[in-house]
Amino acid sequence: MKSIWYLALTGLLLTGCAQTENLTSTEEAVFTQGANLTLQLQKPVAIGDLTLNLQKVDESRCPINANCVRAGSAITYLQLQDTRGNSTTKVLYLGDPLTVPDNRGFRDADTVNATLGSKTYRLILTEVLPFPNTTDQNPPEKTAKVSVTAL
Protein backbone atom coordinates (compact mmCIF):
# COMPACT_ATOMS: atom_id res chain seq x y z
CA MET A 1 0.00 0.00 0.00
CA LYS A 2 2.85 2.37 0.85
CA SER A 3 4.50 1.75 -2.52
CA ILE A 4 1.33 2.76 -4.37
CA TRP A 5 1.14 5.94 -2.27
CA TYR A 6 4.79 6.83 -3.08
CA LEU A 7 4.26 6.05 -6.75
CA ALA A 8 1.17 8.30 -6.90
CA LEU A 9 2.98 11.13 -5.06
CA THR A 10 5.99 10.88 -7.39
CA GLY A 11 3.70 10.95 -10.43
CA LEU A 12 1.96 14.10 -9.19
CA LEU A 13 5.27 15.84 -8.51
CA LEU A 14 6.63 15.00 -11.96
CA THR A 15 3.41 16.13 -13.66
CA GLY A 16 3.59 19.50 -11.89
CA CYS A 17 7.13 20.07 -13.19
CA ALA A 18 6.37 19.20 -16.81
CA GLN A 19 4.90 22.54 -17.93
CA THR A 20 6.66 24.05 -20.94
CA GLU A 21 5.93 27.19 -22.88
CA ASN A 22 5.10 26.61 -26.53
CA LEU A 23 7.15 28.91 -28.72
CA THR A 24 7.12 29.39 -32.44
CA SER A 25 10.31 28.36 -34.23
CA THR A 26 11.23 32.04 -34.70
CA GLU A 27 10.78 32.81 -31.01
CA GLU A 28 12.69 29.67 -30.09
CA ALA A 29 15.67 30.92 -32.07
CA VAL A 30 15.61 34.24 -30.22
CA PHE A 31 15.09 32.72 -26.79
CA THR A 32 17.53 29.81 -26.93
CA GLN A 33 20.35 30.44 -29.39
CA GLY A 34 20.09 34.06 -30.42
CA ALA A 35 19.18 35.33 -33.85
CA ASN A 36 21.93 36.64 -36.11
CA LEU A 37 20.58 39.45 -38.24
CA THR A 38 21.97 41.74 -40.92
CA LEU A 39 20.12 45.03 -40.58
CA GLN A 40 19.83 47.67 -43.28
CA LEU A 41 19.19 51.34 -42.59
CA GLN A 42 15.54 52.15 -41.90
CA LYS A 43 14.33 48.64 -42.86
CA PRO A 44 12.72 47.12 -39.75
CA VAL A 45 13.08 43.38 -39.14
CA ALA A 46 10.53 41.48 -37.02
CA ILE A 47 11.54 38.41 -35.07
CA GLY A 48 9.02 36.90 -32.70
CA ASP A 49 7.31 39.77 -30.88
CA LEU A 50 10.32 42.06 -31.34
CA THR A 51 11.01 44.51 -34.18
CA LEU A 52 14.51 45.91 -34.72
CA ASN A 53 15.28 48.98 -36.81
CA LEU A 54 18.76 50.29 -37.65
CA GLN A 55 17.96 54.00 -37.46
CA LYS A 56 21.34 55.55 -38.16
CA VAL A 57 25.06 54.81 -38.55
CA ASP A 58 27.68 57.46 -37.74
CA GLU A 59 30.90 56.45 -39.49
CA SER A 60 34.32 57.83 -38.53
CA ARG A 61 36.53 54.73 -38.99
CA CYS A 62 39.80 55.15 -40.81
CA PRO A 63 39.36 54.13 -44.47
CA ILE A 64 40.98 50.83 -45.44
CA ASN A 65 43.31 52.53 -47.92
CA ALA A 66 44.47 55.39 -45.67
CA ASN A 67 46.92 55.95 -42.81
CA CYS A 68 45.22 57.51 -39.79
CA VAL A 69 46.26 58.67 -36.34
CA ARG A 70 43.23 57.03 -34.73
CA ALA A 71 41.03 54.07 -35.65
CA GLY A 72 37.75 55.98 -35.45
CA SER A 73 34.40 54.30 -34.78
CA ALA A 74 31.17 53.12 -36.35
CA ILE A 75 28.25 54.11 -34.11
CA THR A 76 24.86 52.48 -34.64
CA TYR A 77 21.49 53.52 -33.27
CA LEU A 78 19.27 50.48 -32.95
CA GLN A 79 15.57 50.81 -32.09
CA LEU A 80 13.74 47.88 -30.48
CA GLN A 81 9.97 47.70 -30.23
CA ASP A 82 7.70 44.94 -28.94
CA THR A 83 4.10 44.16 -29.89
CA ARG A 84 2.83 46.02 -26.78
CA GLY A 85 4.30 49.31 -28.02
CA ASN A 86 7.29 49.38 -25.65
CA SER A 87 10.26 50.93 -27.42
CA THR A 88 13.88 51.85 -26.72
CA THR A 89 16.88 52.94 -28.76
CA LYS A 90 20.34 51.59 -27.93
CA VAL A 91 23.74 52.88 -29.06
CA LEU A 92 26.22 50.18 -30.07
CA TYR A 93 29.62 50.89 -31.58
CA LEU A 94 32.80 49.40 -32.97
CA GLY A 95 36.23 51.02 -32.69
CA ASP A 96 37.36 53.93 -30.54
CA PRO A 97 35.64 54.62 -27.20
CA LEU A 98 32.73 57.05 -27.10
CA THR A 99 32.18 59.84 -24.60
CA VAL A 100 30.45 59.23 -21.28
CA PRO A 101 27.87 57.67 -20.65
CA ASP A 102 28.28 55.37 -23.70
CA ASN A 103 32.03 54.81 -23.22
CA ARG A 104 32.66 51.07 -22.88
CA GLY A 105 36.28 51.22 -24.12
CA PHE A 106 37.66 50.16 -27.50
CA ARG A 107 35.30 47.64 -29.15
CA ASP A 108 35.77 44.87 -31.71
CA ALA A 109 32.20 43.82 -30.80
CA ASP A 110 29.78 45.66 -28.54
CA THR A 111 27.22 44.18 -26.17
CA VAL A 112 24.28 45.91 -24.44
CA ASN A 113 21.12 44.73 -22.74
CA ALA A 114 17.72 46.25 -23.52
CA THR A 115 14.58 45.82 -21.44
CA LEU A 116 11.11 46.15 -22.96
CA GLY A 117 8.31 45.62 -20.46
CA SER A 118 9.19 42.46 -18.54
CA LYS A 119 11.58 41.03 -21.18
CA THR A 120 15.30 41.69 -21.45
CA TYR A 121 17.29 41.15 -24.63
CA ARG A 122 21.05 41.01 -25.21
CA LEU A 123 22.25 42.76 -28.37
CA ILE A 124 25.72 42.12 -29.78
CA LEU A 125 27.01 44.26 -32.66
CA THR A 126 29.77 42.39 -34.53
CA GLU A 127 30.17 44.17 -37.85
CA VAL A 128 29.31 47.35 -39.74
CA LEU A 129 29.82 47.22 -43.50
CA PRO A 130 31.02 48.46 -45.87
CA PHE A 131 34.26 49.67 -44.33
CA PRO A 132 35.16 53.22 -45.43
CA ASN A 133 37.24 53.46 -48.60
CA THR A 134 38.67 56.69 -50.02
CA THR A 135 38.36 55.54 -53.66
CA ASP A 136 34.68 54.53 -53.57
CA GLN A 137 32.65 57.59 -54.58
CA ASN A 138 29.28 55.79 -54.24
CA PRO A 139 29.61 53.30 -51.38
CA PRO A 140 26.76 50.84 -50.77
CA GLU A 141 24.35 51.52 -47.92
CA LYS A 142 25.59 50.60 -44.44
CA THR A 143 24.52 47.34 -42.82
CA ALA A 144 25.02 46.10 -39.27
CA LYS A 145 25.35 42.50 -38.09
CA VAL A 146 23.59 42.06 -34.76
CA SER A 147 22.90 39.04 -32.58
CA VAL A 148 19.72 39.18 -30.45
CA THR A 149 19.07 36.85 -27.51
CA ALA A 150 16.25 36.95 -24.97
CA LEU A 151 17.55 36.62 -21.43
Q: Which range marks the domain in which residue 67 is found?
A: 25-150
From 122, 93, 115, 114, select the one nearest 105 (Cα to Cα): 93
Give domain status of residue 8, yes or no.
no
* CA pair distance 104, 110, nearest whole angstrom: 8
Give the residue ranges of DSSP H helices in the chain: 2-16, 25-28
Count: domains in the chain: 1
Give domain status of residue 109, yes or no.
yes
Q: What is the pTM of this model?
A: 0.74
CATH number of the domain bearing residue 96: 2.60.98
Residue 34's pLDDT band, with cuts at 50, 70 and 90, is: confident
Residue 49's pLDDT band, with cuts at 50, 70 and 90, is: confident
* CA pair distance 111, 5, nearest whole angstrom: 52
Give domain status of residue 6, yes or no.
no
